[in-house]
């Protein structure tokens, strides 16, 4: 059953058509992902879906259908409690319940407080029959694990994001619009949100750059490209296959059209004799082709990333021995506690952990922006750092796009070659008319591209990227991945984008259970290895702790064959673990990723296959041991 429809909807800003006679229909229980390059009009389409404001066309929504939206930007109601922000999603009745909640809290904290206001609020709630409103708010707070009395403005970006999601959900919408819902969330929170959205009984339309979220959530992909909306039923991988085929067909069609047009142009320019005998119908057809070619909207340009390479650093980048760190305000709380590691030139390290766990602190220690409170840190030589900070503090919002990159010059130097700043910024999709715009006028995605342009124009052999993926479209992300793959220096990446981590890093430092653990590979490899560690710990606890139990009757005993299998499994598990240690050392070697790609791939596949065999062996051992 259709919940919402757009028919021949158009929207333009100036001469740029964001939507050109778009048709769209949303069915019940659909989870639709809206894709498109930055600036193509995705957020504008959301506003049409939400409010029905367009230049022409029709928007229809089922009678009584409730629609709610989680917008991309964080709300600035900094002084409100989380309870107040969530309750606002219920309108006037919600605001009434929020006031009652705040006054009740004040009465608890001040025993002698006048109860007159609380009494009046209670009377208004009873008149409005709004007590069930409070129950809805409390239910949402509980489901999203939110502290009702926390001050919204004092919370992390991830908590504020969940709060705004709660405000969108509290009125039980049949349609939920989510604009970049994973921004500012750590991986654990993203996974919990995925589970929540998979259980949501209404329909969802969401915009995201998180490819793992798309794969896990979407039942249909729609793409906004050059004003046209295309629909791809099925999952993300199906979309990629069909999209590639469509682009190839479009390219072939354009080649044929351009060839035919070129032939027509040659014909029309022939001599006087040909002009006397030419077919007027053919002339009219050629004129129509000229108009079609002029009107054809070429696909938006692709970002061209190049990084200014610095002199190679020394072989050692940093060595940490039993390093700990605490802030002066909390001397008894170590953010980093007894951590040791060695970082070599060419390492590509992902840093994973919940918001507030200490990821940025660890980076500052490695880069010597902070000194450890205990332990020793040895830094390498010839280190030049290029730093992308997630708050974009390096950008001067009052300065122009040009000045943030070239600092008053007309040229930048990339790998020894001088380039005009206009041409360089065009590689990052900034047209000439935008380079003198104030940086404060740029969107989130544009600011990210500008910061990348800034740091890539400066020589660096150690690249630090702190949440670079926020607000970037998927195509730009893939191009950034290609650049990082060819970067010859050392890379530190802090990211909550699971697929980006898998594609870019070769090892991870993970904040878990109060300590930092080191793993080979990316995000998926960490998950597998962490699971294997849990199984191994369970196995060791069974072998180390022998508790005499009372004699049991009627207990099934192992057969002779099963006893032999159990003995063999113990030897197999030991052999698998020893082989795994050897492979881990091989993959951790400095020159491992400088070898033949086929050899690298075969080694990593062998490691993955070994992990599967080890998991299966441990599961079977546990099953027999418990018999």
What tens digit of pLDDT does each residue of 240-255 get?
888 887 777 777 777 7
Residue pointed to by tokens 């969802």: 204
Token pair for 294: 């002029």
* Greater model confidence, 30 or 38: 30
CATH class of domain segment(s) 553-625: mainly alpha
Q: Which of 494, 505, 488, 478 is nearest to 303 (CA)?
A: 478
Q: Is the dihedral of CA 358, 364, 368, 369 positive or negative?
A: negative
77, 152 contact by CB (below 8 A): yes
What is the percent of the chain with per-residue pLDDT over 70, rounded to a whole number?
A: 83
- Checking if the pLDDT of 380 tops 80, the result is yes
Q: Is 42 helix (H, G, I), strand (E, B) or coil?
A: helix
In angstroms, the CA 236 to CA 217 distance is 9
Read off the pLDDT of each residue in 130-141 and give the average, rounded to a whole number.
Answer: 80
Select from 42, 38, 35, 34 the least CA-distant residue to 18. Answer: 42
pLDDT grade, residue 296 (50/70/90)? low
Mean pLDDT for the chain? 80
Inform me whether the pLDDT recorded for 106 exceeds 60: yes
Distance CA(421)–CA(402), nearest Å, equals: 7
Q: Give the pLDDT mean for 216-234.
A: 90
Q: What is the DSSP string of 177-205?
A: EEESTTTT--HHHHHHHHHHHHT--SEEE
Whether 316-519 and 553-625 share one fold: the answer is: no
**Average pLDDT rounded to a whole number, residues 169-192:** 88
* Cα-to-chain-centroid distance, residue 303: 19
What is the spatial order of strands in the sheet that 67-70 belongs to? 67-70, 175-179, 203-207, 31-35, 220-225, 228-233
In order of 243, 259, 264, 288, 290, the CA distances from 253 in angstroms are 15, 10, 17, 17, 16
Checking if the pLDDT of 367 tops 80, the result is yes
Mean pLDDT: which of 150-154, 346-350, 530-534 is highest? Answer: 346-350
pLDDT at 307 over 60: yes
Where b means 16+ CB within 10 Å and e means fewer, 171-193 reads: bebbbbbbbbbbbbbbbebbeeb
Q: Mind spelling out the 3-state secondary structure of 380-446?
A: CCCCCEEEECCCCCCCCCCCEHHHHHHCCCCEEEECCEEEEHHHHHHCCCCCHHHCCCEHHHCCHHH
Query: Tokens 């893939």 sit at which residue?
Result: 478
- Could you read off the pLDDT of 38-90 as tens digits, one per residue? 777 888 899 899 887 778 889 999 888 999 998 877 766 667 889 888 888 88
Residues 6+ apart with CB under 8 A from 137: 83, 86, 87, 90, 94, 97, 98, 170
Domain ranges of the chain: 72-172, 240-295, 316-519, 553-625
Per-residue pLDDT band for 432 (boundaries 50, 70, 90) equals confident
Q: Give the pLDDT of residue 154.
A: 82
Where does the pLDDT of residue 508 fall: very low under 50, low under 70, confident under 90, or very high at 90 and above?
A: very high
Q: How far apart are CA 222 and CA 31, in angstroms?
A: 11
For residues 70 and 164, give the distance between their C-alpha atoms in angstroms, rounded to a whole number.
Answer: 6
SS3 77: coil
CATH superfamily of the domain spanning 316-519 = P-loop containing nucleotide triphosphate hydrolases (3.40.50.300)
**DSSP labels, 516-570:** EEEEESSHHHHHHHHHHHHHHHHHHHHHH-----PPPSSPPPPPHHHHHHHHHHH
Question: Pick the residue with more confidence: 532 or 627?
Answer: 532
Q: For the packed helices 597-625 and 523-544, what is the interaxial angle rounded to 10 degrees?
A: 30
- Predicted pLDDT at 601: 62
Q: Identify the sign of the CA torsion 37, 39, 45, 47.
A: positive
pLDDT reading at 315 higher than 90: no
Backbone angles phi, psi at 569, to 5 degrees: -65, -40
pLDDT in tens, 137-149: 888 888 888 888 8
Q: What is the predicted pLDDT for the residue at 272? A: 44
Question: Is 578 or 559 the better-scoring residue by pLDDT?
Answer: 578
Least confident of 109-118, 151-160, 584-593: 584-593
pLDDT top residue among 360 and 566: 360
pLDDT surpasses 80 at 295: no
């Amino acid at each position: 059953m259709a919940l919402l429809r757009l028919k021949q909807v158009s929207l333009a800003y100036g001469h740029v058509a964001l939507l050109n006679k778009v048709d769209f229909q949303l069915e019940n229980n659909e989870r639709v992902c809206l894709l498109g390059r930055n600036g193509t009009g995705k957020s504008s389409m959301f506003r049409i879906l939400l409010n029905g404001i367009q230049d022409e066309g029709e928007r229809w929504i089922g009678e009584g259908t409730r629609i709610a939206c989680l917008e991309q930007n964080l709300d600035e109601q900094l002084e409100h409690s989380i309870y107040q922000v969530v309750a606002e999603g219920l309108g006037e009745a919600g605001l009434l319940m929020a006031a009652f909640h705040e006054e009740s809290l004040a009465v608890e904290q001040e025993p002698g407080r006048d109860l007159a206001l609380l009494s009046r609020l209670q009377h208004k709630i009873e008149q409005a029959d709004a007590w069930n409103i409070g129950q809805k708010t409390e239910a949402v707070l509980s489901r999203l694990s939110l502290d009702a009395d926390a001050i919204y403005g004092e919370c992390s970006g991830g908590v504020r994001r969940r709060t705004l999601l709660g405000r969108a959900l509290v009125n039980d919408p049949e349609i939920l619009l989510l604009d970049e819902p994973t921004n500012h969330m750590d991986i654990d929170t993203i996974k919990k949100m995925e589970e929540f959205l998979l259980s949501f009984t209404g329909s969802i339309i969401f915009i995201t750059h998180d490819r793992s979220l798309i794969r896990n959530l979407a039942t249909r992909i729609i793409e906004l490209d050059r004003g046209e909306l295309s629909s791809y039923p099925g999952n993300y991988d199906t979309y990629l296959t069909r999209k590639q085929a469509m682009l190839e067909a479009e390219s072939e069609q354009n080649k044929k059209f351009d060839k035919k047009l070129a032939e027509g142009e040659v014909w029309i320019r022939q001599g006087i004799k040909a002009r006397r005998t030419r077919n007027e119908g053919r002339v009219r057809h050629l004129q129509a082709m000229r108009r079609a070619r002029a009107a054809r909207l070429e696909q938006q340009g692709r970002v061209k990333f190049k990084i200014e390479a610095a002199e190679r650093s020394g072989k050692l980048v940093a060595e940490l021995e039993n390093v700990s760190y605490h802030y002066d305000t909390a001397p008894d709380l170590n953010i980093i506690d007894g951590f040791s590691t060695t970082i070599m030139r060419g390492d590509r390290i992902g840093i994973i952990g919940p918001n507030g766990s200490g990821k940025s602190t660890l980076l500052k220690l490695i880069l010597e922006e902070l000194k450890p409170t205990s332990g020793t840190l040895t830094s390498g030589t010839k280190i030049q750092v290029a730093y992308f900070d997630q708050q974009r503090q390096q950008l001067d919002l009052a300065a122009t796009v040009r000045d943030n990159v070239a600092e008053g010059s007309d040229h930048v130097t990339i790998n020894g070659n001088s380039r005009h700043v206009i041409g360089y910024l065009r590689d990052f999709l900034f047209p000439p008319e935008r380079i003198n715009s104030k940086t404060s006028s740029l969107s989130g995605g544009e600011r990210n591209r500008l910061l990348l342009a800034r740091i890539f124009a400066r020589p660096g052999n150690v690249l630090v990227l702190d949440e670079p993926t926020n607000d970037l479209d998927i195509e730009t992300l893939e191009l950034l991945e290609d650049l990082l793959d060819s970067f010859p220096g050392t890379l530190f990446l802090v990211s909550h984008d699971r697929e980006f981590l898998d594609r870019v890093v070769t090892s991870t430092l993970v904040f878990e259970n109060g300590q930092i653990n080191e793993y080979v590979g990316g995000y998926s490899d960490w998950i597998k290895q962490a699971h294997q560690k849990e199984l191994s710990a369970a196995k060791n606890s069974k072998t180390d702790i022998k508790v005499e139990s009372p004699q049991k009757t009627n207990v099934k005993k192992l057969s002779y064959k099963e006893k032999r299998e159990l003995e063999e499994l113990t030897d197999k598990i030991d052999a698998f673990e020893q082989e795994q240690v050897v492979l881990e050392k091989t993959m951790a070697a400095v020159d491992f990723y400088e070898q033949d790609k086929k050899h690298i791939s075969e080694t990593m596949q062998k490691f993955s296959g070994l992990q599967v065999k080890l998991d299966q062996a441990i599961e079977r051992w546990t099953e027999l041991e418990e018999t």
